[in-house]
Structure 1
Amino acid sequence: MALPIVAVVGRPNVGKSTFVNRIAQADEAIVHEMRGVTRDRSYHIADWNGVPFKLIDTGGIEMGDDDAFQSSIRTQAFAGVNEADVIVFIVDGRTGINADDEEVARVLRKTSKPVYLVVNKMDNPDTMDQVWEFYQLGLGDPWSVSSLHGNGTGDLLDAVVEDLKKVETADDEEEEDGGINIAIIGRPNAGKSSLTNRLTSDDRSIVSNVAGTTRDAIDTVIEHDGQRYTIVDTAGLRQKSKIDEDVEYYGFVRAMRAIDRADVAILVIDGSIGLTDQDQRVAGFAADRQCAMVIVLNKWDLVEGPDAKAEVREKITDRMTFVGYAPVVATCALTGKSVHRIWEAVDVAYENFCKSIPTNQLNVWLGEIREGGHTVSKGKAILRMKYVTQTATCPPQFTFFVNRPDLVNDNYERFLENRLRKSFDLTGTPIRMKFKKKD
C-alpha cells in the first residue's frame, strides 16, 4: 500500500535534517551548521514498531526573508505540508520562540492534520523549564527531544505512529521497486533541475540561475507510458579541488551515491556553452560506475544556426569517445521541446543495459571475426579466440576464452567492442570484456 507521510518543518538550523536522519536511521539528509542547507524537499523511508512511513525533510522556513531562494524554499516546505498526513513542527529549545516560529505556527493552526510541536536540542534534562514557553504557539503540548542523542524521540514516534495507523492509505498497491533508476547529472547550472521538473511534470526541484542551487539528491518516482521511473536530481558536480564548502562536498557525495545506484545517467550539458572539461569529468564519474548513459544537450534553442549546432555535436563526438555509446538528445527543458525523445533514449539504453545475447549468436559473430583474420601476436605467439559467452548483465559482460589472454591489448579490445556494437544493438550501455585462458 502507499505509505503514509510525515512532513518535518521549521525555520532554518533547528535540527530538522538531524531529526530525519535519526528517525530514518541513515545519513541521507545533509546536516550542517550553515542556514539554508536543505532547500528542496527530500523523501526518506522510515519504520517504527513495524509501521513504515515516508519522511519529508523540508527547507528552513523564513517568512520575512526574501533572498534568492527563500520564496521557493517556503513553497517547497508548504507543498510538503499539503502532501503529509502528519506534521512535525520543530523548534529550537535553546533559542526559544522567534517571529518565524510564530508565523509557521499560525499557518499550521489552520490545518486539520495532526501537528506535533517538537522542541529540539533539549540535551540536558535540567533545562526542561524552557519547554513551557512554546505553549503560546497554540499547537498543544510540546514534545521535548534531542535529535542528536535520540532522547524523547521514541515517545514522540509512538504517538505519531498511532495517528498514522488512522490514515487511509491508497488502495492501489505500489510496486516494491521504483522501476528504472535515473540519475540526472551535470556540472552546476546546466539545467538539471529544470529538466527534472519537466520530466516529472512537477516543481519538486528549486530552479534558479545561481550555480549550486541543488545540494541534496532528490528522488521522484513517476510513471510514464506504463513504465515506472525513479528520477534523482543531483547536485552539480565540480572538481573536488573547486569544492570550497563542506555542504557542497556532502552534496557531491550524495550525487556519487545516486550514480552508484542508477541504471541510467542522464548527463545534462549546457548546449549554449558547449562541451567543457567539467562535462567530460562528470561523464567520467558515470562511466567509472558503469551505468547506462544518455547525453542531453540542454538550452539548444540558444544555439544559433546549423553551423554552431554542428560544431557542438562534433566536439562531443571527438572528445567523448570514452562514452561514445551514449545517444545525444538536443532539447530545451524550459520549453519542453523534444523532451519526449529523452524517454525514448532512456528506455533503449536501459533495455540494452539489461540485454542478454544468446551464446550461439555470439559464437557465430566470433566465427566471422576469426574468418576476417584480425588478431594480435607477439613474437611467435598468436592470439586465438576459441569461444565467447555473456556472463553478466547491467552492464553486459562478455567472457572470451582464448589461448593467450596476455596478448590482448587495448587496441584489440576496442576493435572487439566496435565489432560487437556493430553486430548487436548496445546503444546507451557500456560493456565489459574478460579474457580467460583455454588450452
Structure 2
Amino acid sequence: MPVVAIIGRPNVGKSTFFNRICKSRQAITDDRPGVTRDRHYGTADWAGHYFVAIDTGGLVPASDEVYEAKVREQAEIAIEEADLVLFMVDARVGPADIDLDIAKLLRKTHKPTLLVVNKSDNDALELDASSFYSLGLGDPFPIASNSGRNVGNLLDLVVAGLPAAEPEEPDSSVLHVAVIGRPNVGKSSLVNRLLGDERLIVADQPGTTRDAIDTELSYNDQRIMLIDTAGLRRAARVKDNIEFYTTLRSIRSLQRADIAAVLVEAPEGITGQDIKIIEQAEQERKGILIVVNKWDLVEKDTHTIDQFTATFHEKARLMSYIPLIFVSALSGQRVTKVLDQLIEIWQERLKRIPTAELNDFLEEVVHARPPAAHRGVFIKFYYMTQTDVAPPTFVFFVNYPEHLDKSYLRYLENRLRERFGFVGNALRLKFNQRVRSKEQH
C-alpha cells in the first residue's frame, strides 16, 4: 500500500487534514509523550484507492532545540518511507521563512511533492495561494481542511500521483511472514537465528517496498519469505524515533504478509503497546503467532507458561484463538518450533470446510442455543457457506441479521473454532439477509 507523508511547520492544519481523510478508518496513535503530542498513521480510502497517511509533527528545520530535532528526524523518516509528500502551508500567513527551509529540504530529496495551501477558505485566499510559487515546488493547490473545500480534488491528484498497485498474484506455495513488535524485543535476533540455522536454505530478494529485503528460507520443504528484514537492520540507525520507524515499517510489512509473528518480551510481559500491535494485525485479518522471546531470563516453575498465557487472555479477551510460543532467540531454544507453528497457522488459513458439513454444524449450534427474539420477531438461520480463505470467510443467511446481538455472533465464532479449528487466524463472518416470504413476516 502506498505511503503519503503530510509535512509542514507547526499549526498549518496537518492533523485536521489527516483526520478528515482518515475519518472512516482506525488510526494508530502512539500514546507516548515526546516527539509530538500524537503521532498518527491511518489508512485513507479515496474512490477505491487506499494509501497509508502519516501525520508528522510540526517541522522546524533550523532549530537545535531537542524537541524540534526529534520532530525533524521523524519527518525525515516519513519522507524517506513515503511514495508522495504533501507539503502543507498556511494561506492566511503566506510564505514563511520556515516554509522556505522545508521547501529546500524537500527539493534535495527529489520526492514527488504536492504543495498544499491549507486554510484557503474563500475565493480571495485561493487567489493569494499564487504567492507560494516562490517556494519552487510547482503549482500551489488551495484547500480548506476544516470545511472540506477542494479536498476531494486534492485527493484526485494524490491517487493519480501514487504508484500503480501491483497486481496481486500471490504464490500460494510461499508463506509470507512479517516479524513485528516493539523496539528491542529481539526481532532481528530471531530473524538472524532463523537464517543462521545450517538446515535452512537462504536467499535475499528485493521486496516490493522500497529498500526492503525479503529473505527466503526453506524449512521441511516449505518456502517461507521473511518480509522486510532490511527494515529491522535499518532501525538501528534511527536515533530518537525508533518506535515511529518500526511502527511504520510494521504497517507496510503487514500489508504483504500472510502471518504476523508478533514478538513480545518475556521478562516485561504483554504490554499495552504489544496489544495495539496485535490488534493491528487482527484488523488486517492476518494469521497471528505471538512469540514470547527471552524466555531464558524468566524464573520458571511448572505453571509459568500457563500463567503467562492466562495473563494474555485477560488483557486480550477476544484473542484466545492466537497461540503463544516461548523461545530464546539468543540461545536458539525452541526457535525452529516457531517455523512449525507458522506453517500450521498457514495451513489453517487455507482450509476449506464443505458446505454440507457447515450446515450440519449450523443446525446443531442454533438448536443448542437459538438466537433471542427481537421484539417478538423470531430470528431464523437458513444456511451458511465458506466463501473464501486467507482469511477464512463465512457467510450466514438469516431473515433478520440486523437483530443479531454481539454475544450471539461471538457464540457462533467460538463454536466454529471449537469444531473446525482455524488456530491463529482471525475469521471474517458475514450475515446476509435472505429475502423473506410473506408467511415469514
- TM-score of the superposed pair, with normalisation by structure 2: 0.53
Q: Which whole-Å CA distance do the structure 1 matches of 2:245 and 2:273 have between them?
A: 19
Q: Which whole-Å CA distance do the structure 1 matches of 2:221 and 2:429 have between them?
A: 34
Correspondence for 1:345 among 341, 345, 356: 341
Q: What residue number does 1:330 align with?
A: 326
Q: What residue number does 2:270 align with?
A: 275
Superposed CA offset, 1:116-165 (max 9, x none): xxxxx9x9xxxxxxxxxxxxxxxxxxxxxxxxxxxxxxxxxxxxxxxxxx
Q: Which whole-Å CA distance do the structure 2 matches of 1:424 and 1:387 have between them?
A: 17
Correspondence for 1:384 among 373, 380, 383: 380
CA root-mean-square deviation: 3.5
Instruction: Assess, with a 3 A threshold, how the Cα gap between structure 1 residues 402 and 378 changes in structure 2: closer, same or farther.
Output: same
1:257 matched to 2:231? The reply is no
Correspondence for 1:232 among 227, 231, 236: 227
Considering only CA atoms, is the larger Rg found in Structure 1 or Structure 2?
Answer: 1
CA shift for structure 1 position 273: 1.0
Tell me, yes or no, if the aligned pair for 1:181 and 1:229 is still in contact at 8 Å: yes
Give the paired residue count.
261
Instruction: Assess, with a 3 A threshold, how the Cα gap between structure 1 residues 256 and 427 changes in structure 2: closer, same or farther.
Output: same
Superposed CA offset, 1:190-212 (max 9, x none): 111111111222799xxxxxxxx
CA shift for structure 1 position 319: 1.3
AA in 1 matched with 2:401: P
Q: What residue number does 2:300 align with?
A: 305
For residues 103-142 of structure 1, what are the structure 2 equivalents within 5 Å?
A: none
Q: Which whole-Å CA distance do the structure 2 matches of 1:432 and 1:201 have between them?
A: 37
Instruction: Assess, with a 3 A threshold, how the Cα gap between structure 1 residues 388 and 314 changes in structure 2: closer, same or farther.
Output: same
Structure 2 SS opposite 1:378? coil
1:405 matched to 2:401? The reply is yes
Correspondence for 1:189 among 184, 188, 192: 184
Structure 1 SS opposite 2:408? helix
1:416 matched to 2:396? The reply is no
Q: Which whole-Å CA distance do the structure 2 matches of 1:188 and 1:317 have between them?
A: 23
CA shift for structure 1 position 233: 5.2
Superposed CA offset, 1:85-118 (max 9, x none): xxxxxxxxxxxxxxxxxxxxxxxxxxxxxxxxxx
Q: Which whole-Å CA distance do the structure 1 matches of 2:361 and 2:405 have between them?
A: 20
Q: Which whole-Å CA distance do the structure 2 matches of 1:329 and 1:248 have between them?
A: 24
Superposed CA offset, 1:381-436 (max 9, x none): 12111100011111011000001011112111100000000110211111011111
CA shift for structure 1 position 323: 2.5
For residues 2-151 of structure 1, what are the structure 2 equivalents within 5 Å?
A: none
1:285 matched to 2:274? The reply is no
Q: Which whole-Å CA distance do the structure 2 matches of 1:246 and 1:301 have between them?
A: 29
Superposed CA offset, 1:220-244 (max 9, x none): 11111111111125768xxxxxx99
1:294 matched to 2:298? The reply is no
Q: What residue number does 2:314 align with?
A: 318
CA shift for structure 1 position 216: 7.4
CA shift for structure 1 position 248: 6.0
Correspondence for 1:434 among 430, 434, 440: 430
Superposed CA offset, 1:68-94 (max 9, x none): xxxxxxxxxxxxxxxxxxxxxxxxxxx
Structure 2 SS opposite 1:357? coil
CA shift for structure 1 position 313: 2.1
Q: What residue number does 1:150 align with?
A: none
Tell me, yes or no, if the aligned pair for 2:183 and 2:246 is still in contact at 8 Å: no
CA shift for structure 1 position 247: 7.8
Structure 2 SS opposite 1:412? helix
Q: Which whole-Å CA distance do the structure 2 matches of 1:416 and 1:262 have between them?
A: 27
Q: Which whole-Å CA distance do the structure 2 matches of 1:229 and 1:245 have between them?
A: 33
Q: Which whole-Å CA distance do the structure 2 matches of 1:416 and 1:256 have between them?
A: 30
CA shift for structure 1 position 178: 7.6
CA shift for structure 1 position 370: 2.8
Instruction: Assess, with a 3 A threshold, how the Cα gap between structure 1 residues 339 and 244 changes in structure 2: closer, same or farther.
Output: closer
Tell me, yes or no, if the aligned pair for 2:177 and 2:257 is still in contact at 8 Å: yes
CA shift for structure 1 position 181: 0.4
Q: Which whole-Å CA distance do the structure 2 matches of 1:244 and 1:227 have between them?
A: 37
Tell me, yes or no, if the aligned pair for 2:348 and 2:421 is still in contact at 8 Å: yes
1:357 matched to 2:342? The reply is no
CA shift for structure 1 position 252: 3.0
Structure 2 SS opposite 1:355? coil
Q: Which whole-Å CA distance do the structure 1 matches of 2:211 and 2:409 have between them?
A: 38
Give 5+ residue unaligned stretches, structure 1.
1-31, 39-120, 124-174, 205-214, 237-242
Q: Which whole-Å CA distance do the structure 1 matches of 2:369 and 2:308 have between them?
A: 38
Tell me, yes or no, if the aligned pair for 1:217 and 1:258 is still in contact at 8 Å: no
Tell me, yes or no, if the aligned pair for 1:401 and 1:435 is still in contact at 8 Å: yes
- TM-score of the superposed pair, with normalisation by structure 1: 0.54
